[in-house]
Structure 1
Amino acid sequence: MTDITLTHEPLDLPLSGVWRISRGSRTRAENVLVRLSWIDADGHAWEGQGEAAPYGYYGELRGTVTACLDEFATLLGNDPFAIEAILGRIEARVRHNTGAKAAVDMALHDLWGKILGRPVWQAWGLDASQGPVTSYSIGIDTPEAMGNRASALAEAGWPLIKLKVGTRDDIRCVSAVREAAPSVRLIIDANGAWTPREAISRLSELAQFGIEFCEQPCSSTDVAGLRFIRERSDIALVADESCATEEDIAALVGAVDGINIKLMKCGGLRRARRLIEVARANHLRVMCGCLIESSLAISAAAQLLPLLDYADLDGNLLLASDPFSGVTASHGRMVLGNGHGLGVTPRTIHTEA
């Protein structure tokens, strides 16, 4: 039996088009692929994989991720079943840097499941047939372009669409989408673009389009603003940027109706499950979202599906080419396979030195 070894390499993910939200736009994601290797007492070699999606808004870049991973490589020990102890040592060594931590967490769960010969969801005792459909996100664009995209998604059978908002054209854009796809369910995400009073006015105008909820209408640091909006709007609110870990939930109780978990915000599956438990205890709805990620990270998050009310796990669907195959989505319904660990296999992995 050997120590667990960690290696990492760049994972460049070009998008199929320009992705725009209220904070800016991007055409590619500079992620990091992590591999954990271990040889058991019988000499059998095992490997688990994880992915970090560093995002400047959360204080991470590819360089900070790789620096943290090099540090984490010395903390893994020789027991892949000691997930709590390993991740505890990692959290004690470096604060924040949750994308890097998430990659190691994913790889550990992948390794654990493969050794057990079970998918992670099954090892947790969950029912893969349960769980919500995933939304498909439409980034900020012209009303015509957003309407055309919504029409195509509706024709393809997607039942739930998420619209990025936060511009002067919000009403026209949402109206165009609703006209193009009258039967789909709609949610919106402002990514903190509005002041509380702007949010109240905008949500009042948008209510006519049958919006299920709005994510992060105002600044992530303005919890009082979220409470102010919730008291004056008929549209439910979900905290995204305001809720990174379970420690953030207490302040949000009464200010929002739900939270959006992301593995890259909280540090992986272990912390995500804590978030779900704390949110449930406080009668909050639970959503799991993503950044621009390959099917590796999306499949990791999808292990949580049976525990969720909402899912927004479409980051891999926005890519020009996905280097992994894993969880699939048909008409919004995600299918968790029986592949061991995270159930992910590589296609062609494009890396840069």
Structure 2
Amino acid sequence: MELIIKEYELQLKHTFTISRESIDIQPSLIVQLKSGGCSGYGEATSNPYYNISVSMMKQDLEAIRTLIESAEDETPEEFWAKVYPYLKQDMFALCALDMAYTDLYARKKGQKLHELWDYNIEKNPLTNYTIGIDSIDKMVDKMKELPWPIYKIKLGTSEDIAIVKALREHTDAVFRIDANCGWGIEETLNNAVELKKLGVEFLEQPLKADDWKGHEIIFKHSVLPVIADESCIVEQDVSKCYNHFHGVNIKLVKCGGLTPARRMIQQAKKLGLKTMVGCMTESSVGISAIAHLLPELDYVDMDGALLLSEDIANGVQIENGIIGYSNLNGTGVVLK
């Protein structure tokens, strides 16, 4: 098996702002694994919040190139277990590698990934489309630019309720709110009351990731369901979220790929937690991998590639929240 590492700078259509940062360009690392006339692709993007850079991921993968290239017939689960000890300090790199290997494995089997997993795709959830923080007028303009059935609205400003009221004047779409750790306890409880009146479905990560006492208070008293994001990173975090959140948003890059994400989804279901998978700002390489998990999810946020001015790959198609799969096997990705 041959390991090929590619680096990209993904240009966004608009400056993308959340409660802690703004970006115009998103550095991304693509892993390509070649074997038996097939290629599998995986992706992970840089992330300053988690101290991850493309150069770091590349260095960590190069350090185990021989181990990676010696793999051939292992299942994705066996391969993940083999490389995990060497990449457990860099789950982003592990994600790109696991995604590429899982994609390659399915292609060599002549199956789409959801077929390999024996998932029924008939009742897949719709993806939301994200509106980043901006002036109220610009947020309204961004929403009007792309009519959509579900919007995720980034908040964490002094005008949060005014923003949602202004957006609501222009659409009947479902709203989801993501504060990215930007609120306090009382602020969350008060905002939840107002936001419920405005047709908000749930709140995502209102408090800081490690404020477990605060999360417990919110869980008990919020009039809206609350979904964990920054508080749910790896497999061990799912059980911590029980009785602190109503559901978990699993990010492939944070947990180390598709293989552990599938385990996290099953663990969440056993605990009665709602299941969601989210994306970073990434290309159709990462987004197409998420698409094959849809039958297992209650909610999904896989709009990352829609936020780019130019995609680097072809894969799943998304129209009005509905995901259409590629005719290709594996994740269905091909680099442009």
Which residue of 1 is the match for residue 81 of structure 2?
88
The question of whether the paired residues in 2 share the 8 Å contact of 1:147 and 1:179 is answered with: no
| Letter in structure 2 aligned against 1:48 | G
- C-alpha distance in 2 between matches for 1:321 and 1:149: 17
Question: Which residue of 1 is the match for residue 228 of structure 2?
Answer: 239
Distance in 2 (CA, whole Å) between partners of 1:168 and 1:139 is: 15
Task: Name the residue aligned to 1:300.
Answer: 289
Give the corresponding residue for 1:160: 150
TM norm structure 2: 0.96
User: What is the CA-CA distance between 1:249 and the residue it aligns to?
Assistant: 1.5
Give the structure 1 partner of residue 67 of structure 2: 75
**Alpha-carbon distance in structure 1 between the residues aligned to 2:175 and 2:73:** 42
Q: Distance in 1 between matches of 2:152 and 2:272?
A: 23
- Within 5 Å, give how 1:147-186 maps onto structure 2: 147-154=140-147, 158-181=148-171, 183-186=172-175
1:134 shift after superposition: 0.1
Matched residue type, 2:48: G
Residues 263, 269 of structure 1: 8 Å contact kept: yes
2:20 to 20, 23, 26: 23
1:283 is aligned to 2:272: yes
Indicate the residue corresponding to 1:145 in structure 2.
138
Equivalent pair of 2:277/2:300 in contact (CA under 8 Å): yes
For 2:163, the aligned partner's letter is C
The 5 Å alignment of 1:1-353 reads 4-39=1-36, 45-76=37-68, 77-154=70-147, 158-181=148-171, 183-347=172-336
How many residues align? The count is: 335
| Aligned amino acid, residue 99 of structure 1 | F
Q: Secondary structure at the match of 2:236?
A: helix
Matched to 1:67, the amino acid is: Q
Where has structure 1 moved over 6 Å in runs of 4 or more?
none
Distance verdict in 2 for CA 1:90–1:78, change over 3 Å: closer
Shift in Å, 1:34: 0.9
CA shift in 2, pair 1:81/1:340, >3 Å:
farther
Q: Is the 8 A contact 1:128 1:336 kept in 2?
A: no
Separation of aligned partners in 2, 1:129 and 1:335? 11
Deviations 1:156-212 (A, max 9, x none): xx210110000001111111111111x100000000001222212222232221110
- Alignment deviations for residues 67-88 of structure 1 (CA, whole Å, 9 cap, x no partner): 1111232222232443223211
Structure-2 separation of matches of 1:163 and 1:204 = 17
Secondary structure, counterpart of 1:144 in structure 2 = helix
Contact 1:80–1:111 (8 Å) recurs in 2: no
- Conserved in 2, the CA contact under 8 Å of 1:118 and 1:338? no
**5+ unaligned residues in a row in structure 1: which ranges?**
40-44, 348-353
Specify the SS of the correspondent of 1:231.
helix
Aligned equivalents of 2:67, 2:76: Cα separation in 1:
12
**Percent of matched pairs sharing the same residue:** 36
Match of 1:351 in 2: none
Q: 1:213 to 1:71 in 2, by over 3 A?
A: same
- RMSD of Structure 2 on Structure 1 (CA): 1.3
For 1:160, give the aligned amino acid. Answer: I
- What amino acid maps onto 2:149 in structure 1? P
State the TM-score, normalizing by the size of structure 1: 0.92
Tell me which amino acid in the other structure corresponds to 1:312.
Answer: D
- Structure 1 residue 89, shift from structure 2 partner: 2.0
Gaps of at least 5 residues in structure 2 are none
- How far apart are the structure 1 equivalents of 2:56 and 2:66? 17
